[in-house]
Structure 1
Amino acid sequence: MFSTKLKELRSLKGITQEELANILGVRQQTIGKWESAITVPRLPMLQKIGAFFNVSVDYLLGRTEEPHTNVKVTPSTDLTPKEEREIEYDLEDMINSMASAAYESDNGEQEDIEALQATLRAAMIQAKRIAKKKYTPRKYRKD
Structure 2
Amino acid sequence: MIGERLKNLRKNMGYTQDDLAEKLSISRSSLSLYEIDKRDPDSETFNKIADFFNVSLDYLNGRTDDPNPIRDVDQDLHDEHNYTKELEDFLKDNVTTAMFQDYGDWSDEEKRDLLQFLKGQKALREQNKGK
TM-score (norm 1): 0.48
In the alignment, which residue of structure 2 is the partner of 1:35? 35
Which secondary structure does the structure 2 equivalent of 1:18 belong to?
A: helix
For 2:48, give the aligned amino acid: K
* Aligned mates of 2:44, 2:13 — CA distance in 1: 21
Q: Is 1:7 equivalent to 2:32 in the alignment?
A: no
How far apart are residue 59 of structure 1 and its match?
A: 0.1
In the alignment, which residue of structure 1 is the partner of 2:57? 57
Q: Is 1:68 equivalent to 2:94 in the alignment?
A: no
For 2:38, give the aligned amino acid: I
Question: Computing the radius of gyration over CA atoms, which structure comes out larger, 1 or 2?
Answer: 2
* Aligned mates of 2:50, 2:12 — CA distance in 1: 14
Structure 1 outlier segments of 4+, above 4 Å: none
How far apart are residue 65 of structure 1 and its match?
A: 0.8
Which secondary structure does the structure 2 equivalent of 1:64 belong to?
A: coil
In the alignment, which residue of structure 2 is the partner of 1:26? 26
* Aligned mates of 2:52, 2:17 — CA distance in 1: 14
In the alignment, which residue of structure 1 is the partner of 2:48? 48
In the alignment, which residue of structure 1 is the partner of 2:102? none
* Aligned mates of 2:13, 2:68 — CA distance in 1: 17
How far apart are residue 35 of structure 1 and its match?
A: 0.7
Query: Which structure 2 residue ranges, 5 or more long, are not aligned?
Result: 72-131
Query: Which structure 1 residue ranges, 5 or more long, are not aligned?
Result: 72-143
For 2:22, give the aligned amino acid: N
How far apart are residue 70 of structure 1 and its match?
A: 3.2
- State the identity as a percent: 38
In the alignment, which residue of structure 1 is the partner of 2:114? none
* Aligned mates of 1:32, 1:24 — CA distance in 2: 13
Which secondary structure does the structure 1 equivalent of 2:64 belong to?
A: coil
How far apart are residue 45 of structure 1 and its match?
A: 1.1
TM-score (norm 2): 0.52
How far apart are residue 43 of structure 1 and its match?
A: 1.7
For 2:42, give the aligned amino acid: R
User: Could you give the per-residue CA deviations for residues 32-84 of structure 1, whole angstroms, max 9, x where no partner exists?
Assistant: 1001111010122111101110100110010111101339xxxxxxxxxxxxx
